[in-house]
Structures are given as structure tokens and as C-alpha cells.
Amino acid sequence: MAQHVVVREVDRARADVVARLGTAGVATVHEAAGRTGLVGPRVQARVPGAAVAGSAVTVLSPPGDNLMLHAAVETCRAGDVLVVATTSDSTDGCFGDLLATSLQAHGVLGLVIDAGVRDVATLREMPFPVWSRAVHAQGCVKATPGSVNVPVVVAGQLVRPGDVVVADDDGVVVVPAARAAEVAAAAEARTANEEAKRATLASGTLGLDMYDLRPLLERLGVVYVDRLEDAR
């Protein structure tokens, strides 16, 4: 394979399956996927309240350079999420409102980047959702080659082109396209189960009793006393 490539075609999950994962949200999808796929917490939401689910278009970029982000726009389809990793550690603000405008014009839902963004006030006004490692006004050049639609690692998580990216205020989770339907079904089952638990807890039932945790406390040697001095 060439050292630097732009791959035009990506195998994406079905749109209806992507939408189902988006409805479930990051926390539920992470659990439904067997507690896999979670992007590290250094990548955080910069547009509060935003939530997206889409297919990943990936970028591997040199630090301090956003040339390949511009190249990636041409490969994006409506409903995609741009996912950017750098070849070495970076917090430079390689993404701002102009690139967001370009992506928005092509129907891209948001950005996940293991580096910095800037123009955050404008991004919030647009609104264009971003999840980034940093907010940093340091700009970038457009000079160095990289690749588009190759596997990348973002905050410790492998992301392949076409993987489903779900992002909200809780963070970002990635689901392989081949597992998307399976995980969506598991997420829906989990959501239904949680609704029943929520109703039980709202009625006043203690989690200790709903989850039958009292025998576990006893096995672990936890003793109930009325006052602290009784435990001595």
C-alpha cells in the first residue's frame, strides 16, 4: 500500500441501524457492546447537549497540519462523522468554523478529534458538534501528507472507516460496522430493562433490594450498626 492514501469508498452500516444506536446513547451502547469501543475521556464534548451517530470517515494527520482534513471532506457522505488522529501527540487547533462549514455543507454530523479545535463559540452557534482532546487557538498549516479512510487510534480506541460512531455528553463510543445490528438490538433490550428498573426505583424500592445486594454485603463482611461507637 502507498505510504499516503485517500480511500474513496467506505463500507457503512445501514442508516436505520445507525439511528437505533444513536437513540440508545453512548453509555447504553458501550454496555450493550460488552463494555468495548469507548474512546478515552481526554476526548470531550465541546458543544454541550449535542448527540450524533454516524459512520466514521477517518483521517490520519501529521500534528499541526490540517491538509488531510480538507482532503477528507470530498469522501464524506451525509450522515458521516469525521474522526481524526495525529501521527504524534498534538493539541493544536487544527479544526475551526471554516472546516465545520465545509463539512456541514456535505451533511457531516460532527467531528471527533484526538487533538485541538478552536472557534468554539462559533461552533456552538452553528451548531456543529465536536468532541476533541483540547481547545487551543494554535493554528495549523496545510503542508504535510497523511491518509484518509485508514484505521486510526483515537484516545486509545481503534476506529476503522465505516465504524459507527456514537457521541454525546457522556463521550464517544465506536461500534464495528459488522456488529452494529447486533449491538443495536442489545442496546434496545437494555433500554427496556432500565425503564422497568427506573419505575421500580421511582416507587421507593432500594437498589439494595432490587438487585438483591444484601446477601453480597453479608458475604463481604459488611456489618450494620446503629451508631459508629457500636462498631468498635
Binding positions for substrate: 96-99, 118
Annotated binding site: 96-99, 118-119
Please answer whether residues 58 and 157 qualify as being in contact, where contact means their C-beta atoms are separated by less than 8 angstroms.
no
Query: In Å, how far from its chain's centre is CA 189?
Result: 21
Q: Provide the annotated binding site for Mg(2+).
A: 119
Given a contact cutoff of 8 angstroms between Cβ atoms, the answer to whether 161 and 149 are in contact is yes
Question: What is the value of pTM for the model shown?
Answer: 0.93
pLDDT at 232: 75
Burial 49-63 (b: 16+ CB within 10 A, else e): ebbbbbbbbbbbbbb
Q: What pLDDT is stored for residue 229 in this prediction?
A: 86
What pLDDT score does 230 carry?
81
Which parts of the chain have pLDDT scores under 50? none
pLDDT for 54: 98
> Tell me, what DSSP letter sits at residue 178?
G
Nearest to 90, CA basis, from 132, 119, 27, 39: 132
Q: Within 10 Å of residue 186's Cβ, how many Cβ atoms?
A: 18
For 139-157, what is each residue's pLDDT tens digit? 999 999 999 999 999 999 9
Grid coordinates in use for 156?
486509545
